[in-house]
Amino acid sequence: MKSLADIKLASANKSMNKPIYVTQPYLPPLAEFIPYLEKIWDNKILTNGGPFHQQLEQALCDYLGVKHLALFTNGTIALVTALQALRISGEVITTPYSFVATAHSLLWNGIKPVFVDVDPNTLNLDPARIEVAITPHTTAIMPVHVYGHPCDVNAIQKIADNYNLKVIYDAAHAFGVQDEGGSVLRHGDLSVLSFHATKVFNTFEGGAIICPDAKTKQRIDHLKNFGFVDEVTVVAPGINGKMSEINAAFGLLQLKHIDGALARRKEIDATYRQQLVGVKGIRCLNDAGEKLVNHAYFPILVQPDYTQSRDALYQKLKDHGIYARRYFYPLISDFPMYRSMPSAQHANLRVANDASSKVLCLPIYPALRPHEQQRVIDIIQGA
Which of these ranges, 68-76, 116-124, 174-182, 369-377, lies near ligand T4K under the rule CB under 6 A? 68-76
Q: Which stretch binds ligand T4K (CB under 6 A): 69-77, 226-234, 238-246, 286-294?
A: 69-77
- Which of 81, 138, 194, 294 is the binder for ligand T4K (CB under 6 A)? 194
Q: What is the largest CA-CA distance in the chain?
A: 79
Is residue 99 near ligand T4K by the rule CB under 6 A?
yes
- Under the binding rule (CB under 6 A), the answer on residue 322 touching ligand T4K is no
CB of 178 to ligand T4K, least distance (A): 19
In angstroms, rounded to a whole number, what is the distance separating the alpha carbons of residues 204 and 197? 5
Give the whole-angstrom CA distance, residue 365 versus residue 198: 9
Residues of this chain, 130-189, that bind ligand T4K according to CB under 6 A? 144, 170, 172-173
Give me the least distance between CB of 92 and ligand T4K, in Å please. Answer: 14
Shortest Cβ distance from residue 231 to ligand T4K (Å)? 30
Query: 366 by DSSP, 3-state: which?
Result: coil
| DSSP β-bridge partners for residue 207 | 72, 194
Residue type for 124, please?
N
The burial of 187, by beta-carbon neighbours within 10 Å (0-12 exposed, 13-18 middle, 19 or more buried), is given as buried
**How many residues form the binding site for ligand T4K (CB under 6 A)?**
24
Instruction: Count CB atoms within 10 A of the CB of residue 163.
Output: 14
Our finding on whether 25 is near ligand T4K (CB under 6 A) is yes
Residues 346 and 353 sit within 8 Å (Cβ to Cβ)? yes
Q: Supply the angle between the helices 51-64 and 245-276 in degrees, to the nearest 10.
A: 30
**Residues in contact with 142: Cβ distance below 8 Å, sequence separation at least 6, in sequence order:** 92, 93, 94, 95, 102, 105, 106, 167, 168, 169, 170
CA distance 76 to 104: 8
Peptide bond into 342 cis (omega under 30): no
Distance of closest approach, residue 77 Cβ to ligand T4K, in angstroms: 7
Under the binding rule (CB under 6 A), the answer on residue 198 touching ligand T4K is yes
Which strand (E) or helix (H) includes residue 93? strand 91-94
- Pick from 20, 26, 60, 76 the residue near ligand T4K by CB under 6 A: 76
81 near ligand T4K, judged by CB under 6 A? no
Q: Which of 115, 147, 175, 327 binds ligand T4K (CB under 6 A)?
A: 327
State the nearest-atom distance from the C-beta of 4 to ligand T4K, in Å: 32
| Cβ(200)–Cβ(296) below 8 Å | yes
Span from 23-31, 156-164, 235-243, 275-283 in contact with ligand T4K (CB under 6 A): 23-31
Please state the closest distance from residue 235 (CB atom) to ligand T4K, in A.
Answer: 25
Piece of 149-157, 241-249, 320-328, 337-345 that binds ligand T4K (CB under 6 A)? 320-328
| Residue nearest ligand T4K, Cβ-based | 75
Q: Residue from 84, 94, 95, 102 that binds ligand T4K (CB under 6 A)?
A: 102
Cα–Cα distance, 198 to 177 (Å, whole number): 17
Query: In the bound complex, what is the minimum distance in angstroms from residue 280's beta carbon to ligand T4K?
Result: 29
Nearer to ligand T4K, 76 or 81 (CB): 76
Decide whether 152 or 205 has the Cβ nearer to ligand T4K.
205
Question: How far does Cα 109 stand from its chain's mean position?
Answer: 21
> Which residues contribute to the site for ligand T4K (CB under 6 A)?
21-25, 74-76, 98-99, 101-102, 144, 170, 172-173, 194, 196-198, 207, 323, 325, 327
